[in-house]
Structures are given as C-alpha cells and as structure tokens.
Amino acid sequence: MTDAPNQYELGEMGMSPDEAPSEGVVAAYDRDGDGRVDLIAYDQDGDGVVDKVVLDTDGDGVADTIMLDRDRDGRIDFVGVDHNADGDLDVAATDTDRDGTLDTVRHSAE
C-alpha cells in the first residue's frame, strides 16, 4: 500500500496532456499550447470537487504554484508560490478565518 501524496507537494509538470495521471486528477491543461501540461487540478478526497490546483506559471516544466481547499468547503484557502524554483515555498497565503479571503501572507526569510 502506498501512502497518499503530501497535499503540499507540487507534483510533476512538463508531460504531455496524454501522459498526465488520471487517478485523482480532474483535469490537466496545456494553457500555453507548448505541448506540456502546466496546470493540474486534483480531487484528493474523491468527491468530484477540485481541492488542489498545481501550476507552472513560467513555462519551465516545473510547478511553482499550489492552491488548496484544505477544509473542503469549495473555496481556495491556501496559496503557495516557489519563486526561485528551489522546491520550497517562498510565499504562502492562507484564509485563517474561513471567510473566503486570503488574509495571512508569509514570506520566507531567504
């Protein structure tokens, strides 16, 4: 039995849309038409609703942005961005009071 992936993992990018995983994935898009996936929408709990979105915003084939609906209410309540492509989130924004607005932003010290 394999462990469920960590919800904060960015996941793989750069494959063709045909190569994108299907288990737990609602959609995989090539938004810029270069033949490589740059957005993947996941349904981590199997309820048919997207609760994790991973993006490659700069087109380098490496995911750099993650958006989560951690409490499964249908609204994004966490956004993390890895600006320098080191695999660690540099900026994280959260909705701490569950009102649908990202109200806490933290930047890494690096």
> What number of other Cβ atoms are within 10 A of residue 88's Cβ?
11
Token pair of 110 as six digits: 């690096």
Share of residues in the chain with pLDDT > 70 (%): 92
The domain tally of the chain equals 1
Give 8's DSSP letter. T
pLDDT, residue 4, reads 45
Q: What is the distance between the alpha carbons of residues 78 and 15, in angstroms, rounded to a whole number?
A: 25
Does the pTM exceed 0.85? no
Q: Is residue 4 part of a domain?
A: no
Residues 50-71: pLDDT tens digits? 999 999 998 888 889 999 998 8
- What's the domain range around 30? 17-107
Q: Is residue 34 part of a domain?
A: yes
Q: Is residue 5 part of a domain?
A: no
